[in-house]
Chain A
């Protein structure tokens, strides 16, 4: 299972006692938001752009979460969802189906090739999912959000999130 969205204890303890270390929060949250967009969309460069948009929207108001850094993480994902929705709404009509660029990877050439191959297969599978299901998978496996956090973000019940995710994962596994 993927790591959870909840922030590590050291950041939370800092937030309770003093001003949070926003650089640490940034380092913690950046991969989650970035990977949410990677799972949600097909284009890595777009994922970077939308990640930047998300953080820029949130950054100015981050002090509002001085005493609730965990709330900041959820809030950040809520913004990311909206940014993704706006992006998809704007380009859905004319977006090419095959616009994925090469997956960045690090490791041996063989490992990279294998990861790229698996990544592309997974991307192709995700691309076939209905929008809501792809978003849930993106939150779960891209952002590493808990079912509870996803429920809070989407308005679904926690059990409903679990049921849908389980069903989608089983379907994807059959096609894998």
Chain B
């Protein structure tokens, strides 16, 4: 193919332009960001807020259920649980129960969440987040840091109501589960520390690294967490045996269970920064969301979620490079 004529537009940049630009670039160089490690690990470590934020970008349809479900648990490790979204949809479409409204009626905001605030530097955002923010040293080609935002600390409490929860189960036709009576009238207090998001964009898509110290959840004494978890799993559409098996086998004091729609995503455990994390790969469109990957992990007292429309290998590589 004779294409020599197509080289006719190539020119060397003007030397003066090259020099001036080089000088401007070097002027951009500032001191590297140094980040100290978080000194302590709050006892009740849950990635609920982190995971929920990340899930919002990938699994919008299960966000509500995930938030409602996950906030009751604390985590050092992550585990996936596959559920059938069609089965869940059938379950919920057969009743007039509005989970969001129902939960909303039981939630009392002690310190309502403030809107996220944008910051221009990681240092400023770290100060706002009250923790040193960590950033990836490697990013997918074409993506650059486009925004940093921090949502302030907030706090709310959830009032247990056995009767209401039982009525939900009844309305959904789940008659083989009993709500623990110890829950009735009890209050679960949840304090969510600041949550920071580093957003990397390429002009079209976004990769988001969300990080936070753990929320602090005060559970009333005597609450059977495994029983509550079993109820949550049933609300996701799992059958009785599977819900029971999972509820009994998971260490709820250290594990965050992340619902994954089985029809559109796969998940597996991965090693992230010498710890164990969860990688979720979304194969294609799901209720308007694009395919992509999500990695959840905790390290050095911070819980992370890295998600975006990238391949699982790239997502993991980004996660591994967070420092």
How far apart are the CA atoms of A65 and B17 in the complex, in Å?
Answer: 25
Contact check, A52 vs B21: say whether CB atoms are below 8 A apart.
yes
B114 part of interface (Cβ distance < 8 Å):
no
Asked if A38 meets B1 with Cβ closer than 8 Å, knowing A56-B24, A85-B203, the reply is no
Q: Which residues of A contact B2 (CB under 8 A)?
A: 173
Q: Which residues of B contact A104 (CB under 8 A)?
A: 11, 14
Chain B 1-39, CB-CB to A under 8 Å as 1, else 0, gives: 111011111111110011001101100110010000000
Contact check, A71 vs B13: say whether CB atoms are below 8 A apart.
no
Q: Which residues of A contact B12 (CB under 8 A)?
A: 31
Contact check, A48 vs B141: say whether CB atoms are below 8 A apart.
no
Contact check, B9 vs A169: say whether CB atoms are below 8 A apart.
no
Contact check, A51 vs B10: say whether CB atoms are below 8 A apart.
no
Which residue of A23, A34, A78, A140 contacts B202 across the interface (Cβ within 8 Å)?
A78
Contact check, B8 vs A64: say whether CB atoms are below 8 A apart.
no
How far apart are the CA atoms of A122 and B4 in the complex, in Å?
Answer: 12
The stretch of B55-63, B132-140, B235-243, B270-278 that contacts the partner chain: B132-140
Q: Which residues of B contact A7 (CB under 8 A)?
A: none
B115 part of interface (Cβ distance < 8 Å):
no
B111 part of interface (Cβ distance < 8 Å):
no
Q: Which of A44-78 contact B (CB under 8 A)?
A: 48, 51-52, 55-61, 63-66, 68, 71, 74-75, 78
Q: Which residues of B contact A75 (CB under 8 A)?
A: 139, 141-142
Contact check, A118 vs B21: say whether CB atoms are below 8 A apart.
no
Asked if A82 meets B202 with Cβ closer than 8 Å, knowing A59-B25, A60-B28, A71-B141, the reply is yes
Q: Which of A34, A51, A137, A142 has the most CB of B within 10 A?
A: A34
| A to B contact number (C-beta, < 8 Å) | 112
Q: Which residues of A contact B263 (CB under 8 A)?
A: none
B223 part of interface (Cβ distance < 8 Å):
no
Q: With CB as the reference atom, state the residue of chain B lying closest to A74.
A: B141
CB distance from B241 to the nearest CB of A (A): 44
CB distance from B50 to the nearest CB of A (A): 23
CB distance from B204 to the nearest CB of A (A): 8
Contact check, B8 vs A115: say whether CB atoms are below 8 A apart.
yes
CB distance from B321 to the nearest CB of A (A): 8
Q: Which residues of B contact A126 (CB under 8 A)?
A: 9
How far apart are the CA atoms of A141 and B119 in the complex, in Å?
Answer: 40
A146 part of interface (Cβ distance < 8 Å):
no
B144 part of interface (Cβ distance < 8 Å):
yes
22 A-B pairs in the complex with CB atoms less than 8 angstroms apart: A26-B25, A35-B10, A39-B9, A48-B13, A48-B17, A56-B25, A57-B144, A61-B144, A71-B141, A75-B139, A81-B142, A82-B142, A82-B204, A86-B203, A103-B11, A104-B14, A140-B6, A141-B6, A142-B10, A153-B142, A172-B5, A172-B6
Please name 16 further chain A to chain B contacts, defined as beta carbons within 8 Å, in addition to the given A78-B202, A137-B6, sorted by A numbering. A23-B22, A26-B22, A26-B25, A27-B18, A34-B11, A52-B21, A61-B144, A63-B137, A75-B139, A75-B142, A78-B141, A81-B203, A86-B203, A141-B6, A141-B7, A169-B6
